[in-house]
């Protein structure tokens, strides 16, 4: 399109003459020049026309190749996402199972066998906490769990007790807070 406009402008300029000379030789000369220009422009257009088709083919090929790459990438991405989803689900399932196993293990590990602990106590307090220990303490059967827990923690800290304070401090100092709580619950049921 630009070539055709350039050709038209050139022909127009060649046809114009400031002197308005209309001699036959000048007209012939101008016609010959115009013919040469037309031939040259025609050659240039002939060179560009096939290149235009080649460029169009190359552009179409590039667009088609880009579409193919895009489709392949989308398909591969979808596969990767699906694998990742499955891995997440499997990991979550494994984590849930692990959490259950750990919770069970911790529960078993932290479960205090109060009856087993009371065996030591029963040698002084009786099998059902019905005796005064060494004839000097109170009978602890029937006490509330909170009262027993307070007494045991006091013995452990050395802030509670009378005549049996020293003996009970040695016994209570061996107990954890969970063991004291479990033992207090156990004794309170007598």
pLDDT digits (tens, 9 = 90+) for 69-105: 888 888 888 888 999 899 899 989 988 998 888 877 7
At 167, list the tokens.
């003996």
- Domain shared by 103 and 123, yes or no: no
Q: Are residues 27 and 102 in the same domain?
A: yes
Query: Does residue 93 sit in the same domain as residue 119?
Result: no
Q: Quick one: 53 and 36 in the same domain?
A: yes
Given a cut of 80, whether residue 23 has pLDDT beyond it is no
**Are 184 and 123 found together in one domain?**
yes
Q: Comparing 56 with 147, which gets the higher pLDDT?
A: 147
- pLDDT tens sequence across 124-155: 899 999 999 888 889 999 999 999 999 999 99
C-alpha 173/C-alpha 154 separation (Å) is 10
Range from 2-6, 28-32, 41-45, 149-153 carrying the lowest mean pLDDT: 2-6
CA–CA distance from 110 to each of 105, 106, 113 (Å)?
A: 8, 6, 9
The HSE-up count of residue 158 (CA atoms within 13 Å, CB side) is 1
Choose the final residue of a domain: 107, 142, 168: 107
- The rounded distance, in Å, linking the Cα atoms of 49 and 175 is 100
Residues 36 and 92 in one domain: yes
Residue that finishes a domain, picked among 73, 107, 141: 107
- Asked whether residue 118 falls in the same domain as residue 48, the answer is no
Q: How far separated are the first and last CA of the chain, in Å rounded?
A: 110
Looking up residue 179, the CATH number of its domain turns out to be 1.10.760.10
Check whether residue 79 and residue 123 sit in a common domain.
no
CA distance 119 to 136: 19
Q: Where are the beta strands (DSSP E) in the chain?
A: none
User: Do 128 and 34 belong together in one domain?
Assistant: no
| Token code pair at residue 24 | 């036959």
> CA of 101: how far to CAs of 14, 96, 111, in Å?
99, 9, 15
Q: In terms of pLDDT, which residue wins out, 56 or 92?
A: 92
Do 92 and 71 share a structural domain? yes
């Amino acid at each position: 399109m630009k070539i055709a406009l350039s050709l038209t402008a050139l022909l127009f300029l060649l046809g114009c003459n400031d002197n308005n000379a209309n001699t036959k030789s000048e007209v012939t000369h101008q016609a010959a020049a115009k013919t040469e220009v037309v031939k040259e422009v025609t050659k240039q257009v002939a060179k560009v026309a096939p290149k235009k088709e080649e460029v169009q083919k190359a552009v179409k090929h590039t667009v088609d190749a880009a579409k193919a790459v895009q489709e392949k990438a989308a398909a591969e991405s979808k596969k990767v996402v699906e694998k990742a989803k499955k891995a997440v689900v499997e990991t979550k399932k494994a984590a849930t199972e692990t959490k259950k196993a750990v919770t069970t293990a911790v529960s078993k590990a932290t479960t205090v066998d109060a009856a087993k602990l009371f065996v030591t106590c029963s040698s002084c307090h009786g099998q059902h906490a019905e005796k005064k220990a060494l004839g000097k303490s109170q009978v602890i059967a029937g006490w509330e769990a909170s009262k027993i827990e307070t007494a045991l923690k006091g013995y452990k800290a050395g802030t509670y007790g009378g005549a049996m304070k020293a003996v009970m401090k040695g016994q209570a100092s061996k107990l954890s807070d969970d063991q004291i709580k479990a033992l207090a619950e156990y004794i309170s049921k007598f």
